[in-house]
Structure 1
Amino acid sequence: MKHLMIYGASGYTGRLTAKAALSLGLPLLLAGRSGEPLDILAKEIDVAKRVFALEDPTVLDTELADCAVLLNCAGPYLHTAEPLMHAAIRNGVHYLDVAAELDSYRLAEQLDASAAAAGVMLLPGSGGSVAMLGSLAGHVIKGMKNPRKIAIALHVSGTMSRGSAISAAENMTAETLVRKDGKLLPRSSSHVQMFDFGNGPVSGIPVTLPDLITLWQTTRIPDIETYVHVSGDAFPNGDLATLPDGPSETERQANRYHAAVEITDGDGSVRRARLDTINGYSFTPLAAAQAARRVLAGEAKPGFQTPLGLFGSDFAETIADTRIIDIQGRHQKERVMFLDHIEFAVTNANTSRRFYESALGSLGVECVISQNATQTRSGGTRHGLGADGYPRLWIHDDQPVNSPIHIAFSVPERAIVDAFYAAALAAGGKDNGSPGIRNNYHTNYYAAFVLDPDGNNVECVCQTNDGKMQTG
């Protein structure tokens, strides 16, 4: 009989996954590098165990000889994915893992051809956020004609396990990435986008998630952005080795996970949806065990695969209490700015365009239209900038620059005010008032002020009573 081997079974996620697999009646083998904790688990659930390290390929080949599926739960995956993927390909064993680190997915891309030639499937992210976000994006894509851009966010709440925190620290991507025109490129980390996880829009911070690879692998949608919204102590500081093994069952029950997606079609229309599910540390073992069960039953394709591509967009909703809800209504970015349009003369339109694109990037502002000297009444260059394709801020040169003007942008969260201030200073603006409450206006008037290259006073203000978007 061919087995499911869970490597890293004695870790926090590995233990939960082993128990989930056992409850499904799967032919289970426990494996890992540490003998003593593996002994304890093997005796507790009455399953055979194997203790081996990953340095010697011949040892790996021997240990995998009677396995059909290998589920890697041993982080950091920076150290474990490569030897285990290569061993899986050599031995005709399908490889699964629950990695949240980009390295595992890049490696799967690189090994796609050799895995396919060997008839072996590489399925990193078989559980966890990749399964969640893939199902969410796939649900929305099904109703679209020509989707061109995905902006997707994960809301993480509660605490991390010790292993996850150490893996994240060791694999922290040096730069924030985005997929643009099908290519992974660096992007600014100051651009904040609003997402509705079920209680009104909140800010999402750009991060490099593996969905930049998995969603591209499955959908070939050229533009993909990934974000995270964190609440609680999800990303701990200090000595990570002193952290608890992982959140307790009570803590997991108290902190559900959410995700939100916004997908733009070729005609400019936007569809949005959100996902509500159990805590990630509860979802991941259940999803990984179900994925292993289905692969053992023959549901496999050679080469690099994703949960969305293999199981379809309904996969996440088969796991415990998981729901995907379509969001109706206007595009969220339209709620960020209350300015219709304003135009003024500047010394150099191109210089000012670069400034405003950087300073207002956190509001979703970009250049929408540009006109050269033959197209303008002044005979100079003219740019129209805005969010969602509508030019609200117009600047032009080749006319006298008069006294400075004051422009104020209204936003729903104080975090966006902070992001505006930092980005504007980095773009060459001059401080004219750091973020804070302006009691001379009222007690909830949270604003920051920066002078642009021509001395115009640019303000970003949040006036809600708790610094968050109000709904109702």
Structure 2
Amino acid sequence: MNNKKIMIYGAYGYTGELIAREAVARGLRPILAGRNSKKLQPLAEELGLPAMAVELGASETLERTLRDMDVVIHCAGPFSTTAEPMMRACIEAGTHYQDITGEMEVYRSAHAMHKEARDAGVVLCPGTGFDVIPTDCLAAALHKAIPTATHLTLGFDSDSGLSPGTAKTSIESLGVGGAIRRQGKIEIVGHGELTRTIDFGRGDKFAVAIPWGDVATAYYSTEIPNIEVYIPMSPRRAKKMQRMNRFRWLLGKPWVQNWLKGKVDQKVRGPSEEKRSEQKTWVWGEIRNDRRGERRIGRVVTANGYDVTVHGSLAVAEFLLDYGGDGGYFTPSKLCGYELVEKLPGSGSIKVGID
């Protein structure tokens, strides 16, 4: 492992910087990279790490740079724009790829590149952060309990706010709607359309379905044909979401998207280390086989989403540095096993029972 290299691309973003600092604390010497040399240099000098500026659009230069790398942790959003060129460059360069996205379309894109990546011996593993390690691992553990399941419902409850990147991802979904999986196919539903009451681990709460990445990844991990993902939300806020459905056509306009994302840049900041240490996340899942009347509930408590992303992305990177298996697209649980989440600092054990 000592002779192998990790690149953190987008290292000067909020989460990228957290990952870089933790990597150094672990004794790793990642190469910091990104599009803006002026933003890269101060962090590289402070941490005593090499840095290089390279544009994602400069495909030949990017591929040449990646040939010296063993693993890329891609942290530069919006991933809807940046993930595909980086994945394709990694396939050409023979470099394992992972990222911290929660964007469903990135997972679907990576899944579509499975054969190319397998033939190149390259692992594509997007979603090696809070999106989607805890929910993906819980889905895999629940699937082990009922291998013939027909329905999977996941959810999480956290006191942590959105990171700038996640906030921008949420904005991109405003013009599309929610998403669930029905009979193996992804369906678009209205914002706030599906609701239920869930005990995520802190008592019953009103919850609303959201277009979380597991609508794609949990299906790739388990092949369960019906999947929904929920978060707690006040009924009043759910009503506001439902009213937004009338304006989805407007919310998807590029100028509206850019305006809203500009507001994120102005107002959304990641929390301090002290604040993060106070925030945990309660992850919940329900699996059923309706034909047989079987049902199980699973739960796991993790650290806050930012710390899960930092430790999860580095755990997967270290796994890939010593990896000798096949290439291709993998979810986190398919690559590292569902126990991955239990090994992260601040995480408990997955508990599955009848409830």
TM-score (norm 1): 0.66
2:36 is the counterpart of 1:53:
no
Match of 1:218 among 216, 221, 234: 221
Match of 2:83 among 46, 66, 81: 81
Match of 1:207 among 192, 207, 210: 210
| Larger RCO (CA under 8 A, 6+ residues apart) | 2
2:324 is the counterpart of 1:322:
no
What is the CA distance between 1:205 and its match in structure 2?
0.7
Show the counterpart of 2:74. Answer: 72
In the aligned structure 1, how far is the partner of 2:124 from the partner of 2:286?
28
Show the counterpart of 1:187. Answer: 189
Gaps of 5+ in 2: 242-259
Q: Secondary structure at the match of 1:147?
A: coil
Show the counterpart of 2:311. Answer: 286
Show the counterpart of 2:21. Answer: 19
| 2:193 counterpart letter in structure 1 | S
2:290 is the counterpart of 1:256:
no
What is the CA distance between 1:171 and its match in structure 2?
4.9
Q: Secondary structure at the match of 1:323?
A: coil
Show the counterpart of 2:257. Answer: none
Gaps of 5+ in 1: 331-472
Following TM superposition, where does structure 1 have runs of at least 4 consecutive aligned residues deviating by more than 6 angstroms? 235-238
Q: Secondary structure at the match of 2:208?
A: strand
Show the counterpart of 1:36. Answer: 38
More helix by share: 2
Match of 1:275 among 300, 325, 335: 300
What is the CA distance between 1:230 and its match in structure 2?
5.0
Q: Secondary structure at the match of 2:57?
A: coil
8 Å CA contact 2:4–2:70 kept in 1: the answer is yes
Show the counterpart of 1:386. Answer: none
> How many percent identity over aligned positions?
32
2:165 is the counterpart of 1:163:
yes
Structure 1, residues 286-312: CA drift from partner, whole Å, max 9, x if none?
A: 110010001011155311101111111
2:249 is the counterpart of 1:246:
no
- How much is the aligned-residue C-alpha RMSD, in angstroms? 2.3
Show the counterpart of 1:455. Answer: none
8 Å CA contact 1:160–1:247 kept in 2: the answer is no
Show the counterpart of 2:245. Answer: none
| Distance change (3 Å), C-alpha of 1:299 and 1:96 | farther
Show the counterpart of 2:320. Answer: 295
8 Å CA contact 1:301–1:310 kept in 2: the answer is no
What is the CA distance between 1:166 and its match in structure 2?
2.7
In the aligned structure 2, how far is the partner of 1:313 from the partner of 1:128?
14
8 Å CA contact 1:196–1:274 kept in 2: the answer is no
| 1:93 counterpart letter in structure 2 | T
What is the CA distance between 1:29 and its match in structure 2?
0.6
Show the counterpart of 2:255. Answer: none
8 Å CA contact 1:206–1:227 kept in 2: the answer is yes
What is the CA distance between 1:107 and its match in structure 2?
1.0
Comparing 285-294 and 173-182, the one that deviates more: 173-182
| Distance change (3 Å), C-alpha of 1:121 and 1:174 | same
The number of equivalent residue pairs is: 328
8 Å CA contact 1:96–1:123 kept in 2: the answer is yes
Show the 5 A alignment for 1:36-435: 36-172=38-174, 174-188=176-190, 189-230=192-233, 239-265=263-289, 266-298=291-323, 300-326=325-351
TM-score (norm 2): 0.86
Q: Secondary structure at the match of 2:146?
A: coil
In the aligned structure 2, how far is the partner of 1:327 from the partner of 1:109?
28
In the aligned structure 1, how far is the partner of 2:165 from the partner of 2:131?
16
8 Å CA contact 1:127–1:291 kept in 2: the answer is no
In the aligned structure 1, how far is the partner of 2:157 from the partner of 2:339?
20
Larger Rg: 1
What is the CA distance between 1:247 and its match in structure 2?
0.8
